[in-house]
Structure 1
């Protein structure tokens, strides 16, 4: 690995300090550190790193190092997910579901990555197409979830949903969450969605505050294609992708959601397994 990208939570001073140390550590090993402009401009020695756009980093990096929390990692994954570059997530705050490697383990984990002695968790992603009047206007990949949500003052919205061309139902709710197993411990969980092991190949459909109490979360094969058409008029409705990109929807808009060909590859921690992270994060067993 000759080029390593660093994504950091730039508004956290701790992340900037660690990023500075990492850049020098990489340079001492003749590894080129790659950073985006918003990080480079906050470094005391920006000339030690190569400043590139997110798209250029995605093409060039052999390894991605993320400093921050799960949100920072999801942002990095959306940049590099197309190439399936290994991502090493280092958590500098509270334990994360995705950034599970603590700072104390960062350099040993990096040494393993550079020597090729590491394991990855391959995470399913979703491809999301937004069609308006028969024309595709948006195309995205997401790691966590696709959320349709009403505005603060909007009434309940109607979302006609089909699975592999077969009519499922028209959800009448505050919104709808289509989640990967990775995203099952995010917004979906707060809406009473199921916790799904990240190694599974499936997708969950969770209504937000449904008008009909019998509308329960539904788990389906990861190979299905889900079509959702907005049927409501005169309502403020938004599409949110991984909690980071938003698009206003209008009546008649059609979402086509299916499994992406690409995957996100997360470097596993050698000291924590998934169940320990789950137990610790959700405080299971505590009184």
Structure 2
């Protein structure tokens, strides 16, 4: 590896300090550090450091080191576009279901990556499109989830949902979460959705506070085409939220189309812990 990109939570002084040390550490080993522009403005940069815009962070990079929490990783994965550069996600946040590399593991992990000695977990992504009056007005790729939810003062919303052109039901609820296995431990989990091992390839559909109590989370095939039409019939505040970070206001009649993306996020795995250990630790299973 000759080029390592660094993406960090720029408003966190701890992340900035680690980013500074990492750029210097890479320079001492003759490795070029690519630093996105918002981060670059806050660092003292060694001479061979390259400053790039966020949208170009993955271009020509052999590795991306993400410093922060799960939100920082999710933002980085969206900015990568169609690139599938392996990501070393270092947990400097709080919960961290995805950023399983600890700070103590950072430099040994980077050493192994530079020596091409690492394993990756490929995480499926979703492609979400908003169609209004027959025209696609929004298109986004997500790692975690696509959420339709009502505003604070809005009434229950009606969402006519079909899977592979087969009518499923019209959910009457506060919202609907369509999630990848990676996102199953996010918003979907808090809405009583299933925990899905990230090695599986499937999509979960979880209603948020459904009016019909028999509505339950549903898991469908990885290649399922999910269409959700907003049919509330009244003018109310309804939003589409992508990975909890990008919001789109919807209007009555909008059609949200959700498909499996043709691209994946490649996360470098920790050698000191496995997925079930992460679940036990983060969810405090077995504790009283």
TM interval, shorter chain, is over 0.9
What is the alpha-carbon root mean square deviation over aligned residues? 1.1
Would you say 1:173 and 2:196 are equivalent positions?
no
DSSP 3-state at the match of 1:90: strand
Question: Match of 2:5?
Answer: 5
Would you say 1:162 and 2:176 are equivalent positions?
no
Moved more, 117-126 or 42-51: 42-51
CA contact under 8 A between 2:6 and 2:64: conserved in structure 1? yes
Q: CA offsets per residue over residues 168-194 of structure 1, 9 Å max, x none?
A: 000000000000000000000000000
Question: Matched residues in 2 for 1:108 and 1:144: separation?
Answer: 28
CA contact under 8 A between 2:230 and 2:254: conserved in structure 1? yes
Q: CA offsets per residue over residues 205-241 of structure 1, 9 Å max, x none?
A: 0000000000000011111000001112211000000
Q: CA offsets per residue over residues 86-119 of structure 1, 9 Å max, x none?
A: 0000112435111001010111100111111100
Unaligned runs of 5+ in 1: none
Moved more, 102-111 or 44-53: 44-53
CA contact under 8 A between 1:40 and 1:46: conserved in structure 2? no
Q: Give the Å deviation of 1:55.
A: 2.1
Question: Match of 1:284?
Answer: 285
Q: Give the Å deviation of 1:129.
A: 1.1
Question: Match of 1:144?
Answer: 144
Q: Give the Å deviation of 1:79.
A: 1.2
Would you say 1:82 and 2:82 are equivalent positions?
yes
Q: 1:95/1:106 Cα in 2 relative to 1: closer, same or farther (>3 Å)?
A: farther
Question: Matched residues in 1 for 2:110 and 2:84: separation?
Answer: 18
Question: Match of 1:196?
Answer: 196
CA contact under 8 A between 1:65 and 1:90: conserved in structure 2? yes
Question: Matched residues in 1 for 2:69 and 2:131: separation?
Answer: 32
Question: Matched residues in 1 for 2:26 and 2:81: separation?
Answer: 23
Question: Match of 2:209?
Answer: 209
**How do residues 1-287 of structure 1 correspond to structure 2 at under 5 angstroms?**
1-45=1-45, 49-80=49-80, 82-232=82-232, 233-287=234-288
Question: Matched residues in 1 for 2:190 and 2:7: separation?
Answer: 27
Question: Matched residues in 2 for 1:104 and 1:168: separation?
Answer: 48
Question: Matched residues in 2 for 1:254 and 1:166: separation?
Answer: 15
CA contact under 8 A between 2:202 and 2:221: conserved in structure 1? yes
DSSP 3-state at the match of 2:89: strand
Moved more, 238-247 or 89-98: 89-98
Q: Give the Å deviation of 1:47.
A: 5.5
CA contact under 8 A between 1:125 and 1:142: conserved in structure 2? yes
Moved over 4 A (4+): none
